[in-house]
């Protein structure tokens, strides 16, 4: 009989919400299947795509993959939360259907969580890739610096509210592993919308547990025209309105939390910016009367903001 017992890897649930991205989805699933950390379940939750992705899922012939297809579109956040609620793993990790992981992503981030029960989340840096999967090295460096991960060192962060909620260094939806039993997925409200990842970061920050960071780039975030980030920053009015409403909701919660009062001025500024953004979106959507209260709200609390003032003036002209 062997004197050493085999270490059993805890189950990790990989959540892949998807909608109408068959080619990208295939790459995302492949990157999960190829993980060197093997004790995983892969939950693919389809939000009623026009083309059923079941054949793609079945093409892998991997019993670790579970597929769920909603009979009607239930919205992005509901589909994401459905995946989390199906998870049976000790740990969960979200994988966008258009992103990919390096083969050692889980192998690098699960061990720190196993070794330290005081950790709720482990996260890493990421590459930025284009629609074809090519690494954008300048974009990657810009992303790392933009979210201030270049200032972080490898290790444990006991208090990480500034890192997570101000610097937004934690790619919660794309490059992290979370201890599942410490979160109640029903606590992420539908109003968080596309900002659900910020709200999830918030719940982790106020949990009393710590975070672990690895500076290795273990995931690849795909920047292309159909991401919600790109849409909300472009001429897509509805995407802009959706994002602004989500920001209004989230920053209202953050401003009111007594544990986060040192960051309240920052949150209030972001909330005011969201009021202006929503007002501009509504004007572009020919809803000028609905836009004005948000613009007045922002202007009344800002010393002077040319963007807000210009938008409010425009609402009376057009």
- pLDDT value for 2: 40
pLDDT at residue 235 is higher than 60: yes
Q: Residue 228's pLDDT band (boundaries 50, 70, 90)?
A: low
| More confident of the two residues 120 and 291 | 120
Q: pLDDT tens digits, residue range 148-163? A: 999 999 999 999 999 9
Half-sphere exposure of 313 (CA within 13 A, CB side): 6
Q: Residue 254's pLDDT band (boundaries 50, 70, 90)?
A: very high
CA atoms of 118 and 146, how far apart (whole Å) = 28
Q: Domain map of the chain by residue range?
A: 12-222, 230-317
- pLDDT value for 318: 64
Superfamily of domain 12-222: Spore Coat Polysaccharide Biosynthesis Protein SpsA; Chain A (3.90.550.10)
CA atoms of 83 and 243, how far apart (whole Å) = 22
Strands 155-157 and 65-69: unpaired
Q: pLDDT tens digits, residue range 162-193? A: 999 999 999 999 999 999 999 999 999 999 99
pLDDT at residue 109 is higher than 70: yes
């Amino acid at each position: 009989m062997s004197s050493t017992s085999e270490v059993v890897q805890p189950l990790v649930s990989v959540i892949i919400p998807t909608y109408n991205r068959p080619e990208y989805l295939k790459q995302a699933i492949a990157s999960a299947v190829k993980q060197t950390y093997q004790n995983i379940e892969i939950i693919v939750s389809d939000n009623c795509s026009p083309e059923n992705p079941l054949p793609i899922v079945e093409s892998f012939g991997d019993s670790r993959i579970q597929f769920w297809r909603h009979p009607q579109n239930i919205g992005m956040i509901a589909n994401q939360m459905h995946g989390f609620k199906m998870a049976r793993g000790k740990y969960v990790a979200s994988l966008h259907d258009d992103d990919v992981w390096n083969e050692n992503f889980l192998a690098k981030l699960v061990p720190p969580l196993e070794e330290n029960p005081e950790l709720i989340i482990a996260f890493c840096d990421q590459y930025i890739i284009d629609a074809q999967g090519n690494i954008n090295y300048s974009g990657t460096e810009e992303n790392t610096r933009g979210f201030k991960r270049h200032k972080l060192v490898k290790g444990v962060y006991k208090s990480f509210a500034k890192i997570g909620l101000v610097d937004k260094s934690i790619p919660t939806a794309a490059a992290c592993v979370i201890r599942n039993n410490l979160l109640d997925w029903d606590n992420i409200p539908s109003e968080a919308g596309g900002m659900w990842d910020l709200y999830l970061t918030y719940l982790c920050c106020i949990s009393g547990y710590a975070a672990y960071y690895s500076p290795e780039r273990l995931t690849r975030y795909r920047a292309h025209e159909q991401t919600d980030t790109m849409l909300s920053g472009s001429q897509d009015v509805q995407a802009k309105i959706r994002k602004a409403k989500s920001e209004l909701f989230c920053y209202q919660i953050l401003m009111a939390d007594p544990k986060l009062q040192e960051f309240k001025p920052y949150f209030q500024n972001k909330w005011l910016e969201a009021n202006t953004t929503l007002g501009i979106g509504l004007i572009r959507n020919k809803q000028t009367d609905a836009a004005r209260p948000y613009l007045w709200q922002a202007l009344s609390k800002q010393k002077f903001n040319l963007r807000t003032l210009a938008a409010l003036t425009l609402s009376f002209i057009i």
